[in-house]
Copies of this chain bind each other. A is one copy, B any other.
Amino acid sequence: QNINQRKTEAQRVVFEIVKLTEDTVDPGEWGKNFPRQYDGYTRTVDVERTRYGGSENIQHLDTRPVWRTIFNGYAFSIDYREERGHAYMLADQRETERVLRRAQPGACLHCHASVLKAYRDKGVEAGIAPDEAHRGDAIMKGFEVVCAMPYGEATKLVEHPVACIDCHAPDTLQLRVTRPGFINGIRALARSDYPIPHFASIERWRKGSRAEPYDPNTMASRQEMRSMACAQCHVEYHFAGEGKLLTYPWHKGLKAEQIEAYYDEVGWNDWVHADSGAPVLKAQHPEFELWSQGIHARAGVSCADCHMPYKREGAIKVSDHHIRSPVLNIARACQTCHPASDSELIARVETIQSRTRGLMDRAESAVLDLIRSIQSARAAGASDEQLKAARALQRKAQWRLDFISAENSMGFHADQEAARLLGESMDYARQGQVEAVKVGGSATITPPTVPQGAAGKPPGQAPPPK
């Protein structure tokens, strides 16, 4: 009988079937001890769709062709898809045209595979002592080595997408961060003067002696770790220097303009735009950075609260390891905090998202017009000197647009901030067009791009709840 069973479940402890160590990479092994979490984990292969998200790996370049122009001259102009579940991360990276048709470094693996053991082995190979005390050093060294390797070689070192061991200590199952890129990044952030009210442990560290660098694994609260685990990968990055060292640009703060200021300072360009000749930046999945600007972060709501909500299985509450869009799981993801119906909560999400989408449509047109304008001025013989102002404005406009476009929540993670950046993007883009027109560029004004596929259903007011 059900109630009987549930009373038993409530008392059950973990049966240790397998002994887990730092060498147990295979999640299947972990699954023997933790079948519920493993179940969820494997379900990230599921394919589902939401209005603006979901996990169908559609080609964005087809649904929104304007991006072929915006990315012209860069690998993203040949293949750029909707991301999907964690189960696919390694395969998707190996198979993208960006890897097949362009040379990429081993640095890419950092976020697409269970790399920990590979890093450590390489570090030991490079001469770090193989004892427990030097495990961290070996990983950090191996990270540097792997970053610099060609992708084709490096990818042979790994075989699993992100696995249990990447987020959990094998003995205690405690949540942990393991990614060198993140550990370096969060230290730089801690050393900056960027106010970060949602990470009290950093504010505390700043007030201390600062003798030891900030260490999430020993200093962060459990609730903070529930976001930091994801901030290992869902962040903006670049590959610094010849060694292609994966670096998170948080030295001046997490806002788009602070990251831009850092890139300006170190003189970083992702590429030179093929049509306009402007030195531009590429934004990549700044979920953590955008979430940090939002009210949920401010109120202490973590990534895991929405993307890995608790799920009752019998008498036991487990974190749903089927990481996916919360829109597919409104009851558990939202209703523990918001007492409203499913349809009402979906309407709230879509109201925010359709505002963002509408602004993005406009900003895409503005950046497109700017590129065409510079291109035509250039064709008409304008000098680099004459085009300098317009190109600098393209860099700013495109960065802000891409920041919100590359971010994956369609503005939900910080709605007003997303709208602010898109607003600034349009201001800069049209200013740039004024500058370009001045030196002979075209003055065409394109109406907001019309979405080509269902991924961008036309924005509209969300319907009232039933």
- Where the two chains meet, the residues of A that have a C-beta atom closer than 8 Å to any C-beta of B are 195-197, 203, 255, 295, 298-299, 340, 344, 347-348, 351-352, 355-356, 358-359, 362-363, 366, 411, 415-420, 422-424, 426-427, 429-431, 433-435, 437-438, 443, 445, 461, 463-465
Instruction: Give the shortest distance, in Å, between A351 (CB) and chain B (any CB).
Output: 8
Could you tell me the distance between the alpha carbons of A411 and B418 in the complex, rounded to whole angstroms?
15
Contact between A362 and B424, CB atoms less than 8 A apart: yes
**The 9 residue pairs across chains A and B that have the minimum distance between CB atoms:** A423-B423, A430-B430, A419-B419, A197-B464, A426-B427, A415-B416, A195-B464, A438-B443, A416-B416
Assembled-state Cα–Cα distance A423/B427 (Å):
8
For residue A256, give the distance in angstroms from its CB to the closest CB of chain B.
12
A422: B residues at CB distance < 8 A: 423
Most interface-central of A351, A429, A431 (chain B CB within 10 A): A431
Q: Which of B362, B434, B465 is the one whose CB lies under 8 Å from A423?
A: B362
Q: How many Å lie between the Cα of A391 and that of B442 in the bound state?
A: 20
Question: Measured between C-beta atoms, what is the minimum distance from A228 to chain B in Å?
Answer: 18
Whether A430 lies near B420 (C-beta < 8 A) is: no
Q: Which residue of B lies closest to A417 (CB)?
A: B355
Q: B438, A358: Cβ atoms under 8 Å?
A: no
Complex Cα–Cα for A344 and B438 (A): 47
Contact B430 A426 (CB under 8 A): yes
Contacts of A352 in B (CB 8 A): 416
- Is A295 a contact of B348 with CB atoms below 8 Å? yes
Distance in angstroms from A204 CB to nearest chain B CB is 11
Are the CB atoms of A298 and B431 closer together than 8 Å? no
Bound complex: CA A340 to CA B301 (Å): 14
User: Hey, which chain B residues are within 8 Å of A299, CB to CB?
Assistant: 340
Task: Identify which of B195, B363, B420, B437 contacts A355 (C-beta below 8 A).
Answer: B420
Contacts of A461 in B (CB 8 A): 195, 255
> Given A295-B348, A359-B424, 6 more contacts at CB 8 Å?
A355-B417, A415-B415, A415-B416, A416-B419, A426-B426, A434-B437
State the number of copies, please: 2
Contact assessment for B195 and A463 in the assembled complex, using a CB-CB cutoff below 8 Å: yes
Whether A465 touches B435, Cβ cut-off 8 Å, given contacts A416-B419, A420-B355, A420-B419, is no
| Complex contacts, A420 vs chain B, CB 8 Å | 355, 358-359, 419, 423
Identify 6 residue pairs between A and B in the complex whose beta-carbon atoms are under 8 Å apart, listed by A's number: A197-B464, A426-B426, A426-B427, A430-B430, A434-B437, A435-B445
Query: Which residue of B is nearest A436, CB measured?
Result: B434
Known: A434-B434, A434-B445, A445-B434. A465 touches B426 (CB 8 A): no
- Chain B positions within 8 Å of A344 at CB level: 197, 298
Whole-angstrom distance between the Cβ of A431 and the nearest chain B Cβ: 5
Q: Tell me, rounded to whole Å, the shortest Cβ–Cβ distance linking A337 to chain B.
A: 12
Measured in the bound complex, the distance between the Cα atoms of B300 and A348 in whole Å is: 13
Q: In the complex, which residues of chain B have a beta carbon less than 8 angstroms from the beta carbon of A196?
A: 464
Question: Contacts of A443 on B, CB cut-off 8 Å?
Answer: 434-435, 437-438
Asked if A427 meets B424 with Cβ closer than 8 Å, knowing A298-B348, A416-B416, A464-B196, the reply is: no
Chain B residues closer than 8 Å to A295, beta-carbon distance: 348
User: In the complex, which residues of chain B have a beta carbon less than 8 angstroms from the beta carbon of A438?
Assistant: 437, 443
Q: How far is the CA of A351 from the CA of B198 in the complex (A)?
A: 14
On chain B, the residues within 8 Å of A465 by CB distance are 197
Instruction: Select from chain B the residue with minimum beta-carbon distance to A414.
Output: B416
User: In the complex, A340→B435 CA distance in Å?
Assistant: 47
Q: Which residues of B contact A424 (CB under 8 A)?
A: 359, 362, 423
Distance A344 CA – B418 CA, assembled complex (angstroms): 22
Residues of B within 8 A of A203 (CB): 464
In the complex formed, the residue of B with least CB distance to A194 is B461
Distance A416 CA – B416 CA, assembled complex (angstroms): 4
The answer to whether A197 and B434 touch (CB under 8 A), given A359-B420, A416-B355, is no
* A301 CB, nearest partner CB in chain B, Å: 13
Q: Which chain B positions have C-beta within 8 A of A418?
A: 416
